Amino acid sequence: MTRIRLHIEGMTCAGCAASAEAALNALPGVQARVSWPGAEAEVETTGELDLEALRQALSAKGYTARLAEGDETAATGNDLHIAIIGSGSGAFAAALRAVEAGARVTLIEGAEHIGGTCVNIGCVPSKIMIRAAYMAHLQAHHPFAGIERHAPRIRRTALLAQQQARVAELRRAKYEDILAAQDAVTLVRGWARFRDATTLEVDLPDGGQATVAADRILIATGASPAIPDIPGLAATPYWTSTEALAADTVPEHLITLGGSVVALELAQAWRRLGAKVTIVARGTLLSREDPDLGIALESILADEGITVRTHTVPREVRHDGQRFVLDCGDETITGDALLVATGRRPNTAHLALERAGVVTDARGAIVVDDHLRTSTENIYAVGDCTNLPQFVYVAAAAGTRAAVNMTGGEAALDLSVLPAVVFTDPQVATVGLSEAAAQAQGREVVSRRLDLDNVPRALANFDTRGFIKLVADARDGTLLGCQVLAPGGGEIIQAAALAIRNRMTVDQLADQLFPYLTMVEGLKLCAQTFRKDVRRLSCCAG
């Protein structure tokens, strides 16, 4: 339940108090007690707080109301109250686990939709768009003789309607319906900031303000696109990933700023839907990964007709009303759409963290330990607003563990084996250490790279783009890392993650049974190259 106190003006007698109390209690889920001498109402609600509905009910009786000084929007019933700022995957995972442990939860969200970035404007719509673009690409570029190839006919409005319908369906099934079934979780609509380490001030949609006092507070406010400080850029109608995913027409020429995950995924998708695409990257593609991945992927994108300009930073960006003009020094690039995908920044600036003593790093990310604790004892944080890796599954795992810790348990978030996927085609998938990262730790390593023309399933698919690379300890052969560029790379990488988690050697991996014909068999074959030349083996050679 949620409890607030209202100051009521216009009452002149005990009868007025009774009238006001009856008006409030007539609202669904509301229990109210009104005091005439104190001119206050104590109001409890079992559902979402609707301050405007309370005010309108009193206004109909001739009274006006405002939140009382120091009012507290807090759950009642159980002893432990947890307030969570945000409603994405990390927030929901924490809320559900906290309720299982007997806590009461107040979830505070100011955005139009609950569910956070992933389901609304990130993972879900992007993967739908990428898959649609893949199907369009196959119509014109599949490798099989005897099946006619033809240019796809793209109806972007129909694709977008289908995409957004699935987004709404998943948001309803995975967030809205689950929330509605949780009596111990109260949703408060509004934007929160800290008053102190135990109290939040919430700006409500109607312009009012509520306060939420809690025993524990979890920050799960996510991140937003980071816009580089390029002269002229801010004054142009550029896209972020949000606008790129919601665009209802295919641009003639899309310029993409950025060389990492979002930039590459959306650049390739728009190219396959019919746009001319130019990628402008400050460094190399996927510059934080093994260099082989970025080099190979750049060649693949170029083969699809994408122009890639690495080590390029625009001096200035202009928009003449119809087209973008990027001054890149020795080259001017023009296009009718510009996607800025140069990273994301934590959503922490509006939280007044200094009032609660919560420490952030130079980017504004909240610093947490492996138990998701911030610098303030009762305050925790998870997801993209922290210094943790920005993956939705990390946020969800962190949310669950934070809830365990906030309710008296002991749970650490272990990121020592963290698989990651870039949903280009072929996909880029990594886990563990790259060769350079292992060497930077002072390890003596050995590695092998297996090009996909050595993998029978890739040959059967007539698609041998990419490779599998394994990194092992030179002393005992323990598997340290895996880098994959392959169709279905995201499905392959989890097997490598499990092998690393269980400290398998490359010889043990090479001796495992893998089904034939599968792409994941490439892991076995790559492991075998540490001891033999797999080109001289028969199919299924054990």
- The model's pLDDT over 327-366, given as tens digits with 9 standing for 90+, comes to 999 999 999 999 999 999 999 999 999 999 999 999 999 9
If one counts the domains in the chain, the total is 4
Segments forming the whole domain that contains residue 254: 233-341
CA dist., res. 85 & res. 192, Å (int): 7
Final residue of a structural domain among 395, 415, 435: 415
Q: Are residues 395 and 502 in the same domain?
A: no
Angle at 402 between CA 395 and CA 365, to 5 degrees: 55
State yes or no: is 526 an active-site residue. no
Q: Are residues 461 and 510 in the same domain?
A: yes
Q: Which of 322, 156, 132 is nearest to 247 (CA)?
A: 156
Asked whether the predicted pLDDT for residue 78 surpasses 70, the reply is no
Strand spans (E) along 88-152: 104-109
CA dist., res. 191 & res. 61, Å (int): 30
Domain CATH number, residue 266? 3.50.50.60
Active site residue: 134, 328, 406, 540, which one?
Answer: 540
Residue 136 lies in a domain: yes
Active site residue: 16, 482, 504, 526, which one?
Answer: 16
State yes or no: is 123 an active-site residue. yes
State yes or no: is 540 an active-site residue. yes
Asked whether the predicted pLDDT for residue 290 surpasses 70, the reply is yes
Confidence category of residue 71, pLDDT binned at 50, 70, 90: low
State yes or no: is 13 an active-site residue. yes
CA dist., res. 230 & res. 364, Å (int): 21
Here the tokens at position 262 are 């979002």
CA dist., res. 391 & res. 399, Å (int): 12
- The model's pLDDT over 454-490, given as tens digits with 9 standing for 90+, comes to 999 999 999 999 999 999 999 999 999 999 999 999 9
- Provide the whole-model pTM: 0.85
**pLDDT number for residue 517:** 94
Handedness of CA 168, 170, 173, 175 (dihedral sign): negative
Question: 3-class DSSP state for residue 260?
Answer: coil
Residue 541 lies in a domain: no
Final residue of a structural domain among 415, 433, 458: 415
Peptide bond into 517 cis (omega under 30): yes
Residue 542 lies in a domain: no
Active site residue: 118, 385, 504, 519, which one?
Answer: 118
State yes or no: is 11 an active-site residue. yes
Active site residue: 1, 11, 135, 385, which one?
Answer: 11
Q: Are residues 350 and 336 in the same domain?
A: no
Residue 307 lies in a domain: yes
Report long-range pairs for 128-132 (Cβ below 8 Å, ≥24 apart).
Answer: 128/162, 128/163, 128/166, 128/167, 129/159, 129/163, 129/245, 129/266, 129/269, 130/265, 130/268, 130/269, 130/423, 130/425, 132/159, 132/163, 132/269, 132/273
Q: Which of 298, 253, 294 is nearest to 277 (CA)?
A: 253
Crossing angle (nearest 10°) for helices 156-171 and 123-141: 140
Here the tokens at position 67 are 């939140």
CA dist., res. 364 & res. 370, Å (int): 19
